Copies of this chain bind each other. A is one copy, B any other.
């Protein structure tokens, strides 16, 4: 995306209502999902992954996804995104009216089989079928792939960088509009993030998509910074760090949206998000999932003294 002084510098793609909610056991009531999404939009988020189209028996938390999509669509200007693992999910998502589909494709052969019971090549075939359907019934919808386990795999360990670049290229060749990289397992480091995003950009250019980083070992923000340094301008994160397979108390999975927005805004990189309203969006999340732990260092510490002045100065310095 462009970075003129008129447009925000980065796009924060909030994945909490999908990635967060599907990782917790409890189901957030539909009305609470509405309130949470409303609060996220009020804070200035412009893209939200609102759910995933998967069989309700598999993920009961997502049983109301079509209803949630319909509600999210009432917010003009919001890009309503949903995850779909296969053609069947894509069909339901397109019928519900989403603006954007995101499809996880594993770079790790072992993870692909374990997660979607398909080889990587079979997933590319599935993607091709999804793109055909999109072209036919909803050509305006964007299709994004997220290369999962791009930085390492808890099943097979190392994932060859060549495999990641090959897979991202295959996704684009199969018709995806963009392909991002996901640190599904929290194994990425900044040097690797820079190297791999550069290689992917060399292969697929501006069709390089979002950085989806995890904070499993505390490197989430450092990895986002590294991705930003090599030109990435879209970042996935989750309010309160919900979801993303946290391993232990205090060890959040997904990058915390509040901390990510704080980092960029403090650097003078505009996110379009009002950080105070963003912190207020934690209330409906907490109300809808009583007892579920939420993370975030910036919410715990509060904004620093002189924040508005520091932010204005930082913006002036980046212009």
Query: Using a CB–CB distance below 8 Å, which chain A residues touch chain B?
Result: 152-158, 185-187, 189-192, 195, 215-219, 221-222, 224-226, 229, 247-251, 256, 259, 262-263, 266-269, 295-298, 300-302, 304-306, 309-310, 313-314, 317-318
A186 contact set on B, CB distance < 8 A: 301, 304
> Which of A154, A195, A248 has the largest number of chain B CB atoms within 10 A?
A248
CB-nearest residue of chain B to A191: B267
Docked Cα-Cα span, A318 to B318, in Å, equals 30
Question: Chain B nearest CB: distance from A228 CB in Å?
Answer: 9
- Contact of B215 with A297 in the complex, beta carbons under 8 Å: yes
Contact partners of A302 in chain B: CB under 8 A: 247
- Kindly state the separation between the CA atoms of A193 and B221 in the bound complex, as whole angstroms: 15
Contact A225 B300 (CB under 8 A): no
Main secondary structure of the interface of A (DSSP, over half): mixed
Q: What is the distance, in angstroms, from A315's C-beta to the closest C-beta of chain B?
A: 11
Measured between alpha carbons, how far is A317 from B189 in the docked complex, in Å? 13
Check B300–A154 contact: CB distance below 8 A: no
Min CB–CB distance A196 → chain B (angstroms): 11
Indicate if the CB atoms of B158 and A306 lie closer than 8 Å. yes
Tell whether A250 pairs with B300 under 8 Å between CB atoms, given A225-B225, A226-B225, A306-B152.
yes
Please pick, from B217, B259, B267, the residue contacting A217 in the complex, using a CB distance under 8 A.
B259
Contact in complex: A157, B305 (CB < 8 Å)? yes
Task: Evaluate contact between A225 and B190: CB separation under 8 angstroms.
Answer: yes
CA A263 to CA B304, docked complex, whole Å: 26
Q: Which of A191, A217, A221, A296 has the most C-beta atoms of chain B within 10 angstroms of its own C-beta?
A: A217
For the complex of A and B, 3 pairs with smallest distance between CB atoms: A157-B306, A218-B297, A189-B266
**CB closest chain-B residue, reference A255:** B218
A262–B304 Cα distance when bound, in Å, is: 28
A301 to B297, CA, bound (A): 18
Residue contacts A-B, CB under 8 angstroms, 15 given: A153-B305, A157-B305, A157-B310, A186-B301, A186-B304, A187-B304, A191-B267, A191-B318, A217-B259, A218-B256, A218-B297, A219-B262, A219-B263, A222-B222, A250-B297
